[in-house]
């Protein structure tokens, strides 16, 4: 890398056309100015000036180095200014969420992005554990999870909640534990977790574990999990955000339950990392967004 002070010396030399005046302006010695010029010529392997007695002219390479030096310092000044400017409406924003809430969050972010196109939205769908790890490893700025993290280095804030639902085919009418057993489960990555919590709360005497149910299928694409339920192939358990996002027909219906199970949506970020103002702006906008 070129020492910026060498370029600065050469810029001054080209402007004053004098080694003496350059030394005085930069509070250097004249041999020091000559040494800077020599280092630049050795680096570029080109003569940068042509001497004519006590005078000199820039070579073609010298003119090009001057252009390079000016652009380098201009870019440096722009970058320095950008660090001092914290624009709440521009910059890269890295988010991640589990699938269900992510469907709604991504819709909000895209709506916001249309209004503020200088925001650069990076959004990933990921499980809770991956989101926590990516926040800790600085691969994400803000994450949204559904379970309290154990890490004390994370700042956690509840921003929403989602209700779990048992979803059954539209023509299903046997609203009993035995009816669900006969129907069987359409599983997904969180299927056992969601279903067991709902069943334990609402059928405490009958429910002995997910081994009570035959697995009728599996789907890991959040927007397609209800497709086999729609076709009468089984029941499943999903957060209401994912249920609302499904477009399958006939649309599955909610199995009526006496006790609801609600998961918090937690916003997480590094506790001692000060995020740029755009993240406060985005989350303030989110609070007024109807999810």
Number of Cβ atoms within 10 Å of the Cβ of 149:
18
Average pLDDT over every residue of 189-208: 95
CA distances from 2 to 35, 50, 117, 154 (A): 14, 22, 37, 41
pLDDT tens for each residue of 106-162: 999 999 999 999 999 999 998 888 999 999 999 999 999 988 898 899 999 999 999
Are 74 and 215 members of one domain?
A: no
User: What span, in angstroms and rounded, lies between the C-alpha atoms of 162 and 153?
Assistant: 25
Structure tokens at 186: 């359409």
Flag the least confident range among 85-89, 182-186, 200-204, 217-221: 85-89
Domain carrying residue 196: 163-262
pLDDT for the residue 290 = 59
Are 168 and 254 members of one domain?
A: yes
pLDDT for the residue 167 = 97
Residues 140, 95 contacting (CB under 8 angstroms)? yes
Q: Which residues pair with 49 in a beta bridge?
A: 58
Average pLDDT over every residue of 216-243: 94
pLDDT tens for each residue of 65-74: 999 999 999 9
Among 34, 51, 84, the domain-final residue is: 84
Are 251 and 208 members of one domain?
A: yes
Helices (H) and strands (E) counted in the chain, each on its own, are 11, 11
Q: Is the pLDDT higher at 291 or at 282?
A: 282
Are 106 and 186 members of one domain?
A: no
Q: Which residue's structure tokens are 């035995």?
A: 178
CA distances from 27 to 9, 24, 31, 40, 249 (A): 11, 5, 12, 19, 80
CA distances from 89 to 93, 113, 123, 198, 281 (A): 11, 9, 17, 42, 8
Strands of the chain, DSSP E: 49-52, 55-58, 91-97, 119-125, 142-145, 154-168, 185-187, 215-218, 236-239, 253-254, 262-270
Residue 238 has pLDDT above 70, yes or no: yes
- pLDDT band of residue 41 (cuts 50, 70, 90) is very high
Pairing of strands 262-270, 154-168: antiparallel
Instruction: For residue 259, give every residue at least 6 positions away whose Cβ sits within 8 Å of its Cβ, in sequence order, or none.
Output: 201, 202
Among 31, 52, 84, the domain-final residue is: 84
Residue 22 has pLDDT above 90, yes or no: yes
Structure tokens at 172: 């299903």
CATH number of 16's domain? 1.10.10.10
Are 251 and 169 members of one domain?
A: yes
pLDDT tens for each residue of 79-107: 887 777 789 999 999 999 988 899 889 99
- Closest by CA to 167, choosing from 69, 40, 49, 255, is 255
Residue 291 has pLDDT above 60, yes or no: no
Structure tokens at 150: 């154990």
Are 99 and 69 members of one domain?
A: no
pLDDT for the residue 60 = 96
Are 137 and 258 members of one domain?
A: no
Instruction: For residue 38, give every residue at least 6 positions away whose Cβ sits within 8 Å of its Cβ, in sequence order, or none.
Output: none
Give how many domains the chain has, as a whole number. Answer: 3
CATH number of 239's domain? 3.40.190.10
- pLDDT band of residue 287 (cuts 50, 70, 90) is confident
Structure tokens at 242: 């994912």
Instruction: For residue 144, give every residue at least 6 positions away whose Cβ sits within 8 Å of its Cβ, in sequence order, or none.
Output: 95, 96, 97, 98, 101, 102, 105, 131, 159, 265, 266, 267, 268
Pairing of strands 119-125, 91-97: parallel
Per-chain mean pLDDT for the chain: 93
Are 219 and 136 members of one domain?
A: no
Are 246 and 110 members of one domain?
A: no
Number of Cβ atoms within 10 Å of the Cβ of 170:
12
- pLDDT band of residue 268 (cuts 50, 70, 90) is very high
Are 128 and 106 members of one domain?
A: yes
Are 145 and 268 members of one domain?
A: yes
Pairing of strands 262-270, 142-145: antiparallel
Residues 98, 146 contacting (CB under 8 angstroms)? yes
- pLDDT band of residue 54 (cuts 50, 70, 90) is confident
Residue 276 has pLDDT above 70, yes or no: yes
Among 49, 84, 119, the domain-final residue is: 84
Are 118 and 141 members of one domain?
A: yes
Flag the least confident range among 12-21, 60-69, 99-108, 248-257: 99-108
């Amino acid at each position: 890398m070129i020492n910026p002070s060498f370029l600065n010396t050469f810029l001054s030399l080209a402007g004053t056309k004098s080694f003496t005046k350059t030394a005085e302006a930069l509070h250097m010695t004249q041999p020091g100015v000559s040494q800077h010029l020599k280092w630049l010529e050795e680096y570029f392997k080109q003569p940068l000036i042509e001497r004519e007695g006590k005078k000199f002219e820039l070579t073609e390479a010298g003119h090009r180095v001057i252009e390079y030096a000016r652009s380098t310092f201009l870019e440096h000044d722009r970058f320095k200014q950008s660090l001092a400017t914290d624009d709440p409406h521009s910059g890269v924003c890295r988010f991640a969420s589990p699938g269900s809430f992510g469907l709604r969050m991504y819709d909000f972010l895209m709506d916001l992005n249309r209004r503020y196109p200088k925001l650069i939205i990076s959004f990933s769908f990921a499980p809770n554990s991956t989101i926590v790890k990516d926040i800790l490893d600085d691969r994400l700025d803000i994450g949204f999870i559904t379970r309290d993290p154990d890490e004390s280095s994370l700042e956690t804030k509840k921003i929403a909640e989602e209700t779990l639902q048992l979803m059954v085919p539209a023509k299903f009418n046997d609203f009993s534990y035995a009816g669900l057993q006969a129907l069987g489960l359409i599983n997904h990555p969180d299927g056992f977790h969601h279903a067991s919590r709902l069943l334990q709360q609402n059928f405490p005497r009958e429910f002995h574990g997910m081994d009570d149910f035959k697995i009728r299928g599996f789907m890991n694409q959040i927007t397609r999990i209800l497709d086999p339920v729609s076709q009468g192939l089984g029941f499943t358990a999903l957060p209401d955000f994912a249920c609302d996002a499904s477009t399958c027909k006939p649309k599955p219906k909610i199995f009526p339950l006496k006790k609801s199970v609600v998961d918090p949506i937690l916003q997480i970020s590094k506790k001692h990392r000060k995020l740029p103002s755009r993240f406060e702006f985005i989350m303030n906008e989110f609070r007024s967004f109807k999810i």
